[in-house]
Amino acid sequence: MAKGIAIRMYNVGFGDSFLLRFPCKDQERTMLIDVGVHPAGPGPHTMSEVVDQIIEDVSDGGDPRIDIVVCTHRHRDHVLGFENEKWKDVEVGEVWMPWTEDPKDPKARKILETQSKKAEAIALALRLAGAPSDLQAIAANSLTNAKAMATLHTGFAGHAKRRYLPPKDRNDATFTTPLLDGVLVHAMGPSRDPEVIRDMNPPKGGAYEIAAAAEDGAPLLHAFDDRFVLPANLVDAFLSSASVSQRELKAIAKIAEEDPLALVVQLDKAVNGTSLMLMFEMAGALLLFPGDAQWGTWQAALHDDEWHALLERTCFYKVGHHGSHNATPREFVETVLQKNAFSGMICTSETKKFKKIPLPSLVTALGTKSGHHIARSDDGAKVKGFTRNGDVYTDTVVAI
């Protein structure tokens, strides 16, 4: 059994997939966090091939088993791989999802229904407006992804327990599970406050900036750029109701014709606001996996005294939102992280559409301090502190 927490990052392309191995007292325990890819950034292997590799990695010469499967949020670039039929033969102990996925929670059902209907309306408006196929594909990233989510809610072999995080009681946000003996889990987000969920955009100076123009002088069309936002009154009406009025449809159709990227961005951000933000604590090591959590979730964590104290001790950081500018606050990198040496991983790839993801200024800031090592999933070169095997990076975080 390994003497440290091993983190394996799969090169899925523009998406996320991580397999963690915890050296618990009885036996090594495994956790899979997401498996998906964005249509704008396919990786070197198909999703089917990635799933085959993961299943092989968790078989260990016997029947495949994963102790805990984590779905940070329902974006395609985080869940597409769960569409694969082969998961029905994989035994899973627990499945963790954001509280917004809880079918028994009326508030969660409303949020999910609203997001789904809005996504469908936007996708229809884009098609009718003749928007470029790549923008339609980006919009599809935020659709219901029903088949993958069905696997997460009811699939896998065995009788997996479902947890929807964080729990309603803030005092229960730090918890243990028998499946991870010796590991303390801190569920830092998403918030149950709708204002926090909808707080997507960092203020000026709060995050690392996107250059105003590409090197050739052409304007940067960045799929997560704050320039592309819907009018405030329309946003409030559009995102707060599960119904879609004719007036809204006309307004959406008009924007789809004039600036289709605005629709895509607003939808993408709405789903990211419900992303899980998890910290794992074991033998003094703290591993931070924030999914695609955006500004509101980060600010809530940074301004919570208990969470802030934990963030200061981070020794491994899964870089949020593939290295996008609307995650990873400057305060976290330049103030909080300076108190501890750490390593980090960015599951990402360069794409024609997302020209500044991962954001160069963010990557530079993360890697400039002594003792800080960052590996990118699409980087074939050997990175100090990590082991590379084909399209997989592995990091052993702490000796136990």
| pLDDT for residue 271 | 64
b/e code 199-220 from CB counts within 10 Å (16+ = b): bbbbeeebbbebeeeeeeeeee
Using DSSP's 3-state secondary structure scheme, residue 11 falls into coil
- Residue 5 carries which DSSP code? E
Return per-residue pLDDT of the chain as tens, 400 residues. Answer: 556 889 999 999 999 999 999 998 888 999 999 999 988 889 999 999 999 999 999 998 889 999 999 999 988 999 999 999 999 999 999 999 999 999 999 888 887 777 676 667 677 777 777 766 766 666 666 667 889 999 999 999 999 999 999 999 999 999 999 999 999 999 999 998 877 776 666 777 787 765 443 333 433 333 333 333 444 444 445 445 545 566 666 666 666 666 666 666 665 556 667 899 999 999 888 999 999 998 889 999 999 999 999 999 998 999 999 998 888 999 999 899 877 777 889 999 988 777 788 988 898 888 876 567 888 898 887 787 788 877 777 766 544 3
Q: Could you tell me the pTM of the whole model?
A: 0.85
Return the bridge partners of 375, or none: 345
- CB distance 179 to 67 below 8 Å: yes
Return the bridge partners of 394, or none: 8, 387
Q: Which long-range contacts (CB under 8 A, 24 or more apart) does 246-253 make?
A: 248/121, 249/121, 249/125, 252/121, 252/122, 252/125, 253/125, 253/128, 253/129
CATH topology of domain 4-108+142-200+270-399: Metallo-beta-lactamase; Chain A (3.60.15)
Using DSSP's 3-state secondary structure scheme, residue 103 falls into coil
| pLDDT for residue 25 | 85
- Per-domain boundaries in the chain: 4-108+142-200+270-399
Overall residue count recorded for the chain in this entry? 400
Q: What are phi and psi of 261, to 5 degrees?
A: -65, -30
Burial group, residue 141, by CB count within 10 angstroms (0-12, 13-18, 19+): buried
